């Protein structure tokens, strides 16, 4: 009992502002799909269009293959979990969970039984007769999930539901959400601006900027092979070089910068203005002697010990700051601040990427 969702050329305008710009995505039944992007990128608008609170200006939305345009939220097989959860404060926990059944005319005994069953599913037995205000943030979260699951939706829509929780609980709830999704097999569509959340939980991620989908892929692909500069810099950290492409051949190219000419993978569409070279800090090595290629002499300016890794900043000629992260294996030697060193990277781990995709 889960359905796929197809967005075909969906556009949503608010007055002169185009919140969602020709979005095409196919979400498979039973998939955990995240829309990831900064605030104002249109991800919440997409969620509201799927749930039926906002109608698209153009384009078609299909749920389970069926065009749902014109259907009110109470007619769609979706359940939305709001950012602030929107639990009903004047109802007890079990009444909250059973609300969707109550409106469907299910009798009280059955409602209560189903609510208890769902409370066990979300690992919150014994809270049935409490009020939402008596629960902690994480418990409220579970009640909201149970309330949405009670109506047996084909699709669950989650609007940054973890953003109000503290870090520890957030990490715990990530795993929990993922487990509930696997257990129920319902399609989950998750909205977040937190890249860690999206990468850790999702089967696939759609990265958005300015109303447009920049890339749709599984988390590993998004992180390792971002298609453009926006995706690369929104998901994870980078050392970024500005320059021009020279001698492209076989997917590799030279890249001329003020710090010398580097060699790196050439991304598709990496032509014209705004093309930059991106290297992840964890793919940047540090050494006392120059490497064979892609090596930059630096002066170590800052070392920060992060526990599992050590982040080292180096100042290159012209004031550019480069960051290298090395794994802390317990014996890693760290260069002293002010000392000279070389930072280098593997050409296969560096990518020349175009700017974000914007208006057509």
Residues that bind other proteins (CB under 8 A): 51-53, 72-74, 78-80, 82, 84, 86, 88, 90-91, 99-100, 102-104, 147-148, 150-151
Q: Which is nearer to other proteins, 90 or 249 (CB)?
A: 90
Q: Which is nearer to other proteins, 84 or 339 (CB)?
A: 84
To other proteins, the closest distance from the beta carbon of 40 in angstroms equals: 19
DSSP string computed for 125-137: TT-TTS-GGGS-H
Q: Of 254, 276, 290, which Cα lies nearest the Cα of 354?
A: 276
CA distance 204 to 218: 4
- Residue 79 dihedral angles phi and psi, to the nearest 5°: -130, 130
To other proteins, the closest distance from the beta carbon of 159 in angstroms equals: 10
Q: Which is nearer to other proteins, 180 or 270 (CB)?
A: 180
CA distance 281 to 312: 9
Pairing of strands 252-257, 321-327: unpaired
Helix (H) or strand (E) holding 298: strand 295-305
Structure tokens at 240: 């970024």
To other proteins, the closest distance from the beta carbon of 103 in angstroms equals: 4
To other proteins, the closest distance from the beta carbon of 58 in angstroms equals: 24
Q: Of 43, 19, 57, which Cα lies nearest the Cα of 192?
A: 43
- Residue 291 CB-density burial (10 A; 0-12 exposed, 13-18 middle, 19+ buried): middle
Are 135 and 170 contacting, i.e. CB atoms less than 8 angstroms apart? no
CA dihedral over 229, 236, 344, 263, signed as positive or negative: negative
Neighbouring residues of 315: CB distance < 8 A, sequence distance ≥ 6: 298, 299, 301, 321, 322
To other proteins, the closest distance from the beta carbon of 342 in angstroms equals: 54
Q: Which is nearer to other proteins, 72 or 359 (CB)?
A: 72
To other proteins, the closest distance from the beta carbon of 174 in angstroms equals: 23
Structure tokens at 225: 């092979």
What 3-state DSSP class applies to 247? strand
Beta bridge partners of 266: 352
To other proteins, the closest distance from the beta carbon of 126 in angstroms equals: 23
To other proteins, the closest distance from the beta carbon of 67 in angstroms equals: 19
What 3-state DSSP class applies to 114? helix
Q: Which is nearer to other proteins, 84 or 247 (CB)?
A: 84
Q: Which is nearer to other proteins, 100 or 243 (CB)?
A: 100
Q: Which is nearer to other proteins, 100 or 281 (CB)?
A: 100
- Residue 126 CB-density burial (10 A; 0-12 exposed, 13-18 middle, 19+ buried): exposed
To other proteins, the closest distance from the beta carbon of 80 in angstroms equals: 5
Q: Which is nearer to other proteins, 159 or 325 (CB)?
A: 159
Q: Which is nearer to other proteins, 163 or 261 (CB)?
A: 163
């Amino acid at each position: 009992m889960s359905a796929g969702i197809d967005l075909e050329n969906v556009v949503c305008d608010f007055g002169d502002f185009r919140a969602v710009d020709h979005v095409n995505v196919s979400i498979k039944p039973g998939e955990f799909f995240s829309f990831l992007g900064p605030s104002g990128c249109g991800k919440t608008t997409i969620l509201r269009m799927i749930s039926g609170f906002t109608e698209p200006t153009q384009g078609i939305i299909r749920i389970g293959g069926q065009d749902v345009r014109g259907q009110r939220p109470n007619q769609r097989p979706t359940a939305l979990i709001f950012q602030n959860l929107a639990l009903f404060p004047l109802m007890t926990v079990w009444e909250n969970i059973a609300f969707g059944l109550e409106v469907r005319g299910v009798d009280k005994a059955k409602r209560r039984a189903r609510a208890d069953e769902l409370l066990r599913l979300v690992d919150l037995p014994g809270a049935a007769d409490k009020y939402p205000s008596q629960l902690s943030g994480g418990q409220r979260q579970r009640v909201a999930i149970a309330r949405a699951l009670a109506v047996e939706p084909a699709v669950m829509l989650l609007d940054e539901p973890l953003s109000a929780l503290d870090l520890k609980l957030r990490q715990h709830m990530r795993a929990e959400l993922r487990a509930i999704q696997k257990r129920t097999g319902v399609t989950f569509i998750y909205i977040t601006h937190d890249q860690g959340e999206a990468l850790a939980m999702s089967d696939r991620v759609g990265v958005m900027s300015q109303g447009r989908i920049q890339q749709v892929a599984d988390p590993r692909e998004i992180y390792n092979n971002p298609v453009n500069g926006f995706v690369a810099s929104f998901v994870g950290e980078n050392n970024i070089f500005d320059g021009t492409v020279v001698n492209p051949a076989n997917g590799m190219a030279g890249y001329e910068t003020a710090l010398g000419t580097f060699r790196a993978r050439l991304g598709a569409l990496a032509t014209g203005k705004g093309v930059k070279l991106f290297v992840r800090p964890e793919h940047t090595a540090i050494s006392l002697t120059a490497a064979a290629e892609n090596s930059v002499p630096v002066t170590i300016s800052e070392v920060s010990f992060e526990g599992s890794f050590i982040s080292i900043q180096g100042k290159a000629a012209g004031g550019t700051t480069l960051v290298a992260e090395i794994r802390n294996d317990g014996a890693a030697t760290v260069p002293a601040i002010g000392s000279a060193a070389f930072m280098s990277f593997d050409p296969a781990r560096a990518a020349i990427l175009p700017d974000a995709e914007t208006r057509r």
